[in-house]
Amino acid sequence: MRKCVNCGASLDDDAVFCVVCGTKAQPAGLQCPHCGAPIDDDSVFCTSCGGKVGQSEATPVEVPVEQPNQYPNQDNQRVEQPSNYMPVVEEPSKGNNNNMVWYIIGGIIGGLLLVAASYFGYQKFSKHGQDVEAVVDDENYDTGCGDMTYELYGSVANYLITMNLYFEGDVVDGSYYYDRKGPNESINLSGTFKENKLDLYETDASGRQTGHFDGYFDGAEYKGIFINRDGKRMSFILNDNPPTSKPDISTSAPSSDPDAQYVKVTGVNVRLRTTPSINDNNIIKDARGKNVHPYKGERLKMVSEEDEFYLVIYRGDYVYISKQFAVLE
């Protein structure tokens, strides 16, 4: 009678597996306690090392126990694994974590920049919009040439002048007149504005340059040197405060007709037209292709009325102005 090497259950001599634990039965035999070589049941000395064994010193042969496999391969077959096998758990990549951190930081920075851009854009829009009077020319929105409009008062040398300027970015258009002559003898102006440097050039009816205002403008005061067509240099200073002793321009407009009537411009950047109708082909422009505008408050001699327009004299020319932006005095 043999014993199961795993659980010690009794086995028949011809048994192949243990009927209790299922372990494969090993052939009967003993091992030498000195060298481990197999010996016969009745051996007294080991035939390999010569050591004395006897019945009491012989030890049963230990046979490795076959354990059920718990890790099948891809073919659904069980694969032998070592007894000290431990599954490997893959740690998250540190590089991926670092990338995620940068993505978060980038998103926060982008959001802050967007908020800042929106705020400063709103401030800029508010600044440009606070002093501008919007003008609607019938079915067309008339923005003219000005994001900002200024009316300045002052003098060139000892001559009092009034200047009207229309800013569109760094491009400036406008006009000025000597107070003693009145707005009917206004002189055209055009120029550029960069980093507070305002250069304005006056031109006559033929577009010829007749003078140059070379100065600096901070939004409230414009001062510098005026150079006339003869090269004579004269200092000028203008600001947005009307002089208390400004002459009455209502009597300064020359007229041979004591019964002449005048209309007063009530809008800003109002378009003048060659015919009494609204279309893009009859707008009066200067030599540079810019729209010509009278300034707000300017008085123009009226010739006649035609439907929704007044026929008036502007700088020696007959032009039409919409009744929507002018009133009869």
**Maximum average pLDDT range among 39-48, 62-71, 184-193, 283-292:** 184-193
Tell me what the mean pLDDT of segment 131-154 comes to.
54
Distance CA 149, CA 30 (A): 117
In this prediction, residues 44-73 reach a mean pLDDT of 62
Query: Can you tell me which residue has the tokens 């002449």?
Result: 260
pTM of the model: 0.35
Q: pLDDT grade, residue 257 (50/70/90)?
A: low
Judged by average pLDDT, the poorest of 6-10, 134-138, 256-260, 288-292 is: 134-138
Q: Where are the domains of the chain?
A: 1-72, 95-130, 141-328
Three-state DSSP at 242 gives coil
d(CA 105, CA 147): 39
The answer to whether residue 104 scores a pLDDT higher than 80 is yes
State the distance between the two ends of the chain, measured CA to CA, in whole angstroms.
Answer: 140
Average pLDDT over residues 126-138: 39
**What pLDDT was estimated at residue 74?**
52
User: Which of helix, strand or coil describes residue 7?
Assistant: coil
